[in-house]
A = this chain, B = another copy of it.
Amino acid sequence: MSDNASPLQKHRYTYQPRVPALFKSGKVTVVEHGADPEVPVDAADIKALFPNTFGKKVVRLAEGPGEGLKSDALTIGVVLSGGPAPGGHNCIAGLYDALVAANPKSKLLGFKGGPKGVIDGSVREITAEVVEPYRNTGGFDIIGSGRDKIESAEDLAKCCETLKKLGVQALVVIGGDDSNTNAAILAEHFLAQKTGVQVIGLPKTIDGDMKNEIIESSFGFDTAAKTYAHLVANVCRDAMSSRKYTHFIKLMGRAASHVALEVALQVQPNITLISEEIKVRKLTLMDVVAQIVDMVVKRSEAGRNYGVVVVPEGLLEFLTDFEALLKDLNHIHKTEEEVLQSYDTDEDRRQFVHSKLPAESSKVYSSLPDDIQHVLLRVDKHGNIPVSQLETEKLLIDLVKLRIHEQKRLGKFKGSFEPLGHFFGYEGRCLAPSNFDADYCYALGQTASYLIRAGLTGYTAFISNLAAAPEDWIAGGVPVTQMLNMELRKGKMKPVIKKALVELDAAPFKQFEANRSKWLVEDAYKFAGPIQYYGPEEVSGVITETLRLERS
């Protein structure tokens, strides 16, 4: 690959990530963090499920003689899990470098294609040569990724077999909340089975929803959010240059709206919808449509027949009425799918659905554009309505258009409304990590190496004090079980890491709330620009607004 690299790629290979000063000293000890561990809400349940790993202490790395750190040659496995996020390759590079620095005979084995690779024993050895062209690059392609979980007794057994056969002493799982939960399950299983294999997780997700008091941010969020901010800002500038279109931009974030909120703070588009607020305020689809129509009218009256609306991917499921409709429709699909699909035409199916829906949901269903009504008449192979296929931005466009035409007919709207829809998602998950993410991920990988050498298992590595310079970052590990609570998943109570949603009383949302009215009618757009790897520190080293407001 390196023969084939772009000029920027070649230069990025040689970037030396900045890390906590401590790491450079080489004298590292693992000590108790000192922070009182939060007691999980469902402590009793969690303790019962994780008898061997529950109740551990948060740890941090401190300067010291390195007592108790293994220095013999280790064989470590690493696996990437879930959607790619910028920095994954640097986690692996940091882990590799720290391992061979401690003992040049240590080996790093990458499991290919995600957790399935651990089950199947599909391996690529990460050597110095292998890791070189992946340093500071985007993507998860060094070993690939996958969405499987290792949960069934059969998979757990196969996994033990693989690790035993390969002589793996510890496994590093790079993934989001579910994958770190899976890491806890593995750690517990390995302890129960006395296999001796340790498990360490690293916190990944561009959505930014794996964070808590100790884990300040998941990796990849910085790079992805900056990329979307850049693109949204470009569209804002286009809007105010062409003065013609109202852009509806959907951004990634099914569960949490951190990405949308970060983009709002960086770019100041006219409207940014935040799913969590919509849920708390019990807003309906028509409330949201009315809010956008109001913006279109007000801006038009101010001579601005253009604008930008940012929409989080998961919006629909947070709208009171739409959520109820989905529940009611799913009930019909579950109980009367055969009857429903026995009708010849979609028109007949719609009639049937209306006859079964409660009055409120029936009204909401009728208000939707035809193509959306069609999608809702079908389920996917898992028996669920394919909500992710609904093009939320287009749904909003259609509904706003209807209202605007109505206002026009009534003579209440004299302007023009030309909507355009966009979805920014896949283009932000695999670019080369920002300096922040490159440094952060490299330090996370190194930290995993120290936690392993300290004999720990069932921990997620963390770096804190992230709003400071990398040299001042604090590294450590938090027991995964401490982050678990019990949630209903597919009809069963399961231990999961609670997703961090946007908190309406935290600084980032407060900042947004205090200022957004100024962004509605005026053009207050800010232009983040593309991520810079070079140049002045306040440009190339800038952190997200979310992190700045939460932590500095």
**A-to-B contact residues, CB < 8 Å:** 4-9, 11-12, 83-84, 113, 137-141, 144-145, 227, 230-231, 233-235, 237-238, 240-243, 245, 247, 266, 268, 420, 422-424, 426-432, 523-524, 526-536, 538-540, 542
Contacts and interface: CB of A to CB of B under 8 A. Distances in A.
Contacts of A238: 84, 139, 426-427, 429-430
A235 B427 contact: yes
A449 to B, nearest CB: 23
Of the candidates A138, A238, A526, A532, the one having the most CB atoms from chain B within 10 angstroms of its own CB is A238
10 contacts: A9-B526, A9-B527, A139-B237, A230-B431, A231-B427, A234-B426, A234-B431, A238-B430, A247-B426, A532-B532
A138 B237 contact: yes
Q: Which 9 A-B pairs have the closest CB atoms?
A: A534-B535, A530-B530, A8-B529, A237-B430, A140-B241, A534-B534, A139-B237, A84-B241, A238-B430
A66 B526 CA distance: 42
A310 to B, nearest CB: 13
A530 B527 contact: no
- Name, among A6, A140, A227, A247, the residue most crowded by chain B CB atoms within 10 Å (CB to CB): A6
B539 A7 contact: yes
A4 B268 CA distance: 10
A303 to B, nearest CB: 11
A139 B430 CA distance: 27
Given A234-B430, A266-B6, A426-B235, A144 B529 contact: no
B427 A526 contact: no
Contacts of A145: 241-242
Nearest to A523: B141
A11 B243 contact: no
A529 B9 contact: yes
A161 B530 CA distance: 44
Nearest to A113: B243
B241 A141 contact: yes
Nearest to A232: B427
A287 B429 CA distance: 33
B530 A431 contact: yes
A284 B479 CA distance: 60
A432 B241 CA distance: 13
A529 B432 contact: yes
Contacts of A268: 4
Given A6-B527, A139-B240, A241-B144, A427 B234 contact: yes
B426 A527 contact: no
B241 A430 contact: yes
B534 A144 contact: no
A547 to B, nearest CB: 15
A429 B534 CA distance: 23
A240 B426 CA distance: 12
A84 B241 CA distance: 7
Contacts of A538: 7, 11
A530 B230 contact: yes
Contacts of A427: 231, 234-235, 238, 422, 424
A542 B526 CA distance: 27
Contacts of A540: 534
A474 B233 CA distance: 34
Contacts of A11: 535-536, 538-539
A496 B526 CA distance: 38
Nearest to A530: B530
B524 A6 contact: no
B526 A4 contact: yes
A225 to B, nearest CB: 14
A543 to B, nearest CB: 11
Contacts of A234: 138, 227, 426-431
Nearest to A542: B7
Given A8-B528, A8-B532, 17 more contacts: A4-B268, A5-B526, A6-B233, A8-B527, A8-B539, A9-B527, A9-B529, A234-B426, A234-B429, A234-B431, A245-B426, A422-B427, A431-B530, A530-B530, A530-B532, A534-B539, A535-B535
A428 B4 CA distance: 25
B529 A431 contact: yes
A12 B423 CA distance: 28
Nearest to A431: B234
Contact of A6 (B242, B420, B529): B529
A242 B7 contact: no
A528 B237 contact: no
A400 B540 CA distance: 43
B6 A528 contact: yes
A378 to B, nearest CB: 15
A144 B243 contact: yes
A65 to B, nearest CB: 40
Nearest to A268: B4
